[in-house]
Amino acid sequence: MMRLALVAFVAISLTACTETFTPRPKAFFHIDIPQPQYQRFASDCPFSFNVAQYGFVMGDSSANAEPCWLNVQYPMFNATVHLTYKPIGQEFSFEELQKDSRTLVYKHTIKAQEIMENTINKPDERVYGMLYRLTGDAATSLQFYVTDSTSHYLRGVLYFNQHTDADSIAPVLNHLSDDVLEMVGSLNWK
């Protein structure tokens, strides 16, 4: 009798819980992305541009920073657009600056799946350049440079201030890309 009870208990134990465990998928927080409203940023630097109201511009405080090196901070997205300005011809030629920008972009080929180049051409404002979009697990997803090709050269890089997964930041990246396009599209040289 005891043996029969043990067999019945084992049989019931093995068949009682037939529902298989399925782990929940990884979820990400919902991010409220505001409608952009832009304001003009002007300073003593030889350029001005529009910046979103939820961002702010401050001088670069790193040890090697030069005048007119700026950071456009987006605290709600934990992101920064680093801007470096160089006058053409004083230390570097246009060709050297352009080559340096391209080299810095293509250092990311190790991690980037693709690097797409988009030409910036606004002859009425004398603004020319290149916008680079990097896909994959690169440290940056967006870089650009703009110039008038004779006097001014401005380079920008978008970084998130934390490790990110490309799929989880896609909505924020698209939104900040639009802000960078507005920045570049509204840029004027002084």
Of 74, 67, 70, give the one whose Cα is nearest residue 59: 70
Q: May I ask the CATH class of domain 46-189?
A: alpha beta
The stretch 114-125 carries a mean pLDDT of 94
Question: Residue 87: pLDDT above 90?
Answer: yes
Confidence tier at 28 by pLDDT (50, 70, 90) = low
Of 123, 166, 121, give the one whose Cα is nearest residue 142: 166
Question: Residue 14: pLDDT above 70?
Answer: no
The pTM score is: 0.82
pLDDT tens per residue, range 162-186: 877 766 778 888 999 999 999 999 9
Q: Which residue is listed with tokens 């997205």?
A: 77
Output the pLDDT for position 17.
62
Quick one: tokens of 95? Answer: 């060709």
Whole-number percent of the chain with pLDDT over 90:
64
Domain boundaries, the chain: 46-189
Output the pLDDT for position 18.
60
Confidence tier at 156 by pLDDT (50, 70, 90) = very high
Of 71, 122, 121, 129, give the one whose Cα is nearest residue 105: 129
More confident residue, 11 or 46: 46
Output the pLDDT for position 19.
67
